[in-house]
A = this chain, B = another copy of it.
């Protein structure tokens, strides 16, 4: 199965997500416990809690992030043509976000908010076991609405890629559905990443409707897909996903990924990484690699392999975006076989 290139698709992927600046800090388990955080989770915090945490942890490394933003950056590093839609405020962090994503070659022209809450930030606490615990203050992201979805932009891209985190806000949800409808109306495809098992818990039923009604390609990790279908083992989740989605790419950390599409199935090993430094962005980069292959009409097994290579790169260092040219890396890894 491969994408049928529609006419005049000059973009490979348009990614829509929460535009967030990450603030990365290394910490320990005791601190997580003291702050009452569940390791590995993503929690939403309000302005006040964000301020308090920021003061408590001290300044960290500021780097533009956001799940779909990271995927867009990965796609650009792979040589794909892509665009990003996400909302910042006209403040310092908003400028940093726009600068970073444009600097890697991603088209980004969502109008910044001129009033209301500041640009979103995510305080990421990295423990020595390379797990990350995230506290997100959504700030200006909450202002993303249907009007921010540029019909022309969506029509220009082979795939419109949506991050599940958007499903937390009503206006963003409407933006999301509008984007999916516009994509399909233009003969394009849609993709969704479930983002987080807690996010799936919050919206299980509406996610299932969304997937069966509007999504062509589903990305999920094992915890997310188990939560989505409320089953206790991977194989049971796999059978459900097979029924619901045209393509499901299910990631399993060091076990690699399984891609299922109708009668087609692929069980693809993870790319080796030693040591794993920080798992932030692994799923985002897997999606980038997979979509890069997919929009070039590659076999699903190769899409999964490229996803695995991109994911392996990003977990080999701190930070959610690639630090090498992924296009070169993929070429080297594939020819090394």
Q: Identify which of residues 228-266 in chain A touch chain B, using a CB-to-CB cut-off of 8 Å.
A: 232-236, 238-239, 255, 258, 260, 263, 265-266
- Which one, B233, B238, B266, contacts A235 given CB within 8 A? B266
Cross-chain contact B301 with A267 (CB below 8 angstroms) = no
Q: Does A268 contact B (CB under 8 A)?
A: yes
A234 to B265 alpha-carbon distance, docked (Å): 12
Residues of B within 8 A of A148 (CB): none
Q: Identify which of residues 249-299 in chain A touch chain B, using a CB-to-CB cut-off of 8 Å.
A: 255, 258, 260, 263, 265-269
Residues of B within 8 A of A337 (CB): 232-233
Cross-chain contact B269 with A233 (CB below 8 angstroms) = yes
Count chain B CB atoms within 10 A of each CB in A232, A263, A265, A301 and give the residue with the most: A265
**A77-111 vs B, Cβ < 8 Å mask (1 yes, 0 no):** 00000000000000000000000000000000000
Residues of B within 8 A of A269 (CB): 233-235
**A236: nearest chain-B partner, CB-CB:** B301
Cross-chain contact B263 with A267 (CB below 8 angstroms) = no
A173 to B267 alpha-carbon distance, docked (Å): 33
- State how many angstroms separate the Cβ of A228 from the closest Cβ of chain B: 16
- State how many angstroms separate the Cβ of A150 from the closest Cβ of chain B: 38
**A283-324 vs B, Cβ < 8 Å mask (1 yes, 0 no):** 000000000000000000100100000000000000000000
- State how many angstroms separate the Cβ of A171 from the closest Cβ of chain B: 38
A267 to B235 alpha-carbon distance, docked (Å): 5
- State how many angstroms separate the Cβ of A88 from the closest Cβ of chain B: 40
A234 to B270 alpha-carbon distance, docked (Å): 11
Cross-chain contact A258 with B267 (CB below 8 angstroms) = yes
- State how many angstroms separate the Cβ of A257 from the closest Cβ of chain B: 10
Cross-chain contact B232 with A267 (CB below 8 angstroms) = no
A contacts, CB < 8 Å to B:
232-236, 238-239, 255, 258, 260, 263, 265-269, 301, 304, 337
Question: Known contacts A233-B269, A267-B267; can you find 6 more A-B pairs with CB under 8 A?
Answer: A233-B268, A234-B267, A235-B266, A235-B269, A235-B301, A235-B304
